[in-house]
Chains A and B, each alone.
Chain A
Amino acid sequence: MAEPLYFEKSFDVEGGSFQNAGNVSGQIKGILKDLGVSTDIVRRVAIICYESEINIVSYAKRGTITLTVTDEAVKIETKDEGPGIADIELAMKEGYSTASAAVREMGFGAGMGLANMKKYADHLIITSELGVGTYVRMMVMNFQKILHPDLPSITL
Chain B
Amino acid sequence: MQLDELVRKLGLRVCCAEGSLGRDVRGGYVGDLLSDVMANSREGDIWITRQVHQNIVAVASLKDLAGIILIQGSEPTPDTAAKAGAEGIPILVTDLPAFEIVGRIYQLIHS
- Spell out A's residues near B (CB within 8 Å): 18-19, 21-23, 25-26, 29, 43, 46-47, 50-51, 54, 106-108, 110, 112-113, 116, 119-120
Enumerate chain B residues within 8 angstroms of A112, measured Cβ to Cβ.
33, 35-36, 39
- Please determine whether B35 and A23 come into contact, CB atoms closer than 8 angstroms: no
Interface pair B55/A25, CB less than 8 Å apart: no
Inter-subunit contact B35/A26 (CB<8 Å): no
Asked if B79 CB lies within 8 Å of chain A CBs, one says: yes
Shortest A82–chain B CB gap in Å is 18
Interface of B is mostly: helix
Do residues B55 and A113 form an inter-chain contact, with CB atoms below 8 A?
Answer: no
User: In the complex the two chains form, is A51's CB within 8 Å of B53's CB?
Assistant: no
Q: Given the complex of chains A and B, what is the CA–CA distance between A16 and B49 in angstroms?
A: 23
Tell me, in angstroms, the Cα distance from A23 to B39 when the chains sit together.
18
| Chain B contacts for A50, CB-based, 8 A | 38, 58-59, 62
Contact of B34 with A by CB under 8 A: yes
Smallest Cβ distance from A94 to chain B, in angstroms?
10
Q: In the complex the two chains form, is A120's CB within 8 Å of B63's CB?
A: no
Do A22 and B58 touch (CB < 8 A)? yes
Known: A106-B55, A116-B38, A119-B39. A22 touches B33 (CB 8 A): no
Contact, CB under 8 Å: B36 / A51: no
A26→B51 contact, CB < 8 A? no
Whether A23 contacts B34 in the complex (CB less than 8 A), given A112-B39, A119-B39, comes out as no
- Pick the most buried of B35, B43, B57: most chain A CB atoms within 10 A of its CB: B35
Q: In the complex the two chains form, is A46's CB within 8 Å of B63's CB?
A: yes
CB distance from A121 to the nearest CB of B (A): 12
- In whole angstroms, how far apart are the Cα atoms of A23 and B54 in the complex? 12
Check if B100 is an interface residue, CB within 8 A of chain A.
no
CB-contact partner of A25 in B49, B53, B62, under 8 A: B62
Give every chain A residue within 8 A of B62 (Cβ-Cβ): 22, 25-26, 29, 46-47, 50
Interface string of B26-42 (1 = CB under 8 A from A): 00000011111011000
Whether A107 and B38, one on each chain, are in contact in the complex, defined by CB atoms closer than 8 angstroms, is: no
The reply to whether B58 and A21 form a contact with Cβ atoms under 8 Å apart is yes
Residue B74 CB within 8 A of the other chain: no
Q: With A19-B54, A19-B79 as known contacts, state yes or no: A110 contacts B35, CB within 8 Å.
A: yes
**Are B63 and A22 within 8 A (Cβ)?**
no
